[in-house]
Amino acid sequence: MRTSKKISFSITEDFKSKLLSWANQFEEVVWLDSNNYPFSTVDYEAILAVDAFTALKTDAHLAFDQLKEYQETTNDWIFGYLTYDLKNDVEKLHSKNFDGLLFPELYFFQPKKILLFKNDEVELHYLAMVDDEFETDWEEINNFQPSTNTEKNTSSLEIKARVNEEEYLEKVTKMLTHIHRGDIYEANFCQEFYVENSVLNPLETYLHLNEISKAPFSVYLKLEEFYLLSASPERYLKKTGNKVISQPIKGTARRLENKEEDEALKNKLQNDPKERSENVMIVDLVRNDLSKTAEKGSVHVDELCGLYTFQQVHQLISTISSEVSNDLSPVEILRSTFPMGSMTGAPKISAMKIIENLEETKRGLYSGSVGYFTPKGDFDFNVIIRSILHNKNEKYTSFSVGSAITAKSIPQKEYEECSIKAAAMKKALSL
């Protein structure tokens, strides 16, 4: 059972820094921040969950069955992640590429303490065993003074590319061969950048990344030695009552400082046949995925190729919705749509097989998802892109970027798109 308390409060950037510094004392931390982005579908401005009472940590084998049992048994708020490699639980696939991060393939926990921020108010939801700490925690957070003796990033982080430009262009050309002969018609192809023997201050790096990007599905996640620092702009899947929505992103243009030039690029993106076709292909895939659990005739495209502007890029985002029955397990909805179409391709299984053969690195949490379930069985999960991953014990830091390859793709242009997407992570690691 949880005890709740409401406090009138307006969240500020200074307070966020204090709050996360206070939260960092715990082994398990999930911070979800909308950065006040004007998405009407965001339930909370921000959420903090800390300190595990129970947890589920497993590999891909029967992972969704275990998650279903855990979600139903706890019947409480649970927070955590799904790695891309849970594809191996959903389909007869494998992940044999190099893995420098060594994250568990699924990790969820039931937090003792949850703070929900919305409409100039914070709701504290504590398990009964710690509900006598409401007042002292709130006082500590508001008066928290971060230590000045915090660990700094290695002064000369050497960021290496897992594949060089020439190798990348060769691999995209091979992907195009698959497309031209009809094996697939779209695939998301990704590449890794990494740092070995890295000493990282994860919280400061996250705050720097968030300052650069201000994304609507931003995450700071700390689970033991495993860290995620994410500036994700993309939602994977959200369930509220009987309604499910997915909001895939496909179509990217960089931002420019000159307003007229920036506006011209934005208009060009919205009317670009290649970018729109990428988006439409994934919309069709998502419609098919949602139809597996939807009530008959309830799958709709609510918005097609909507143009959204972020601090680093312009993006095309579509919204697809469905209605589901009351007795359907929320985990089944995730299982039937995972991994998300925007990070795989179409047809999905064929695309995932080709991706595995051409990419050099196991994706892990990159292109997976972080989110939460509520006690009512609602959920909200993002897509892990524009993110830095770090294993503190292994001293290994990684980020990956990708783009959608279609018949109209030009390999050099795809490489340039990846460079645009990588810029924020490179900048964040330079602090």
Cβ-proximal residues to 317 (8 Å cutoff; 6+ apart), any chain: 234, 247, 248, 249, 303, 305, 306, 307, 308
pLDDT class for 155, splitting at 50, 70, 90? very low
pTM of the model: 0.96
pLDDT digits (tens, 9 = 90+) for 239-287: 999 999 999 999 989 899 999 999 999 999 999 999 999 999 999 999 9
pLDDT digits (tens, 9 = 90+) for 39-90: 667 789 999 999 999 999 999 999 999 999 999 999 999 999 999 999 999 9
pLDDT at 148 over 70: no
CA distance 34 to 430: 24
- Phi, psi (degrees; rounded to nearest 5) at 33: -130, 125
pLDDT of residue 40: 60
Domain 2-428 has CATH 3.40.50.300: no
The encoded tokens of residue 170 equal: 């060769």
Enumerate the domain spans of the chain: 2-428
pLDDT of residue 1: 86
Q: Coil, helix or strand for 335? A: helix
Closest CA to 192 of 425, 354, 353, 427: 425
What's the whole-number mean pLDDT along residues 17-25? 96
Identity at 267, one-letter amino acid code: N
CA distance 141 to 31: 15
pLDDT at 149 over 60: no
Percent of the chain predicted with pLDDT > 90: 90
pLDDT at 157 over 90: no
Average pLDDT, rounded, for the chain: 94
Cis peptide before 104 (omega within 30 of 0): no
pLDDT digits (tens, 9 = 90+) for 326-342: 999 999 999 999 999 99
CA distance 174 to 153: 38
pLDDT of residue 171: 98
Tell me whether residue 241 is exposed, middle or buried, using C-beta atoms within 10 angstroms of its C-beta: 0 to 12, 13 to 18, 19 or more: exposed
Q: Residue 182 region, left (φ>0) first, then alpha (ψ -120 to 50), else beta?
A: left
pLDDT at 311 over 70: yes
pLDDT digits (tens, 9 = 90+) for 345-399: 999 999 999 999 999 999 999 999 999 999 999 999 999 999 999 999 999 999 9
pLDDT of residue 294: 98
CA distance 176 to 409: 8
CA distance 159 to 388: 12
The encoded tokens of residue 16 equal: 């966020």
Cβ-proximal residues to 231 (8 Å cutoff; 6+ apart), any chain: 209, 210, 212, 213, 214, 215, 218, 386, 387, 424
Cβ neighbours of 53 (radius 10 Å): 15
CA distance 348 to 357: 15
The encoded tokens of residue 182 equal: 């009809």
pLDDT of residue 156: 56
CB 189 within 8 Å of CB 170:
no
* Eight-state DSSP code of residue 131: G
pLDDT digits (tens, 9 = 90+) for 177-210: 999 999 999 999 999 999 999 999 999 999 999 9
pLDDT digits (tens, 9 = 90+) for 291-305: 999 999 999 999 999
Pick from 30-39, 116-125, 241-250, 399-408: least confident:
30-39
Cis peptide before 347 (omega within 30 of 0): yes
pLDDT of residue 430: 85
CB 377 within 8 Å of CB 226:
no
CA distances from 183 to 186, 284, 408 (A): 9, 17, 15
Number of Cα atoms under 13 Å in the Cβ half of residue 50: 17
pLDDT of residue 312: 83
Cβ-proximal residues to 255 (8 Å cutoff; 6+ apart), any chain: 262, 265, 309, 310, 311, 312, 313, 314
| Residue predicted with more confidence, 1 or 107 | 107
Strands (DSSP E) contained in 118-224 are 121-127, 160-161, 186-196, 217-223
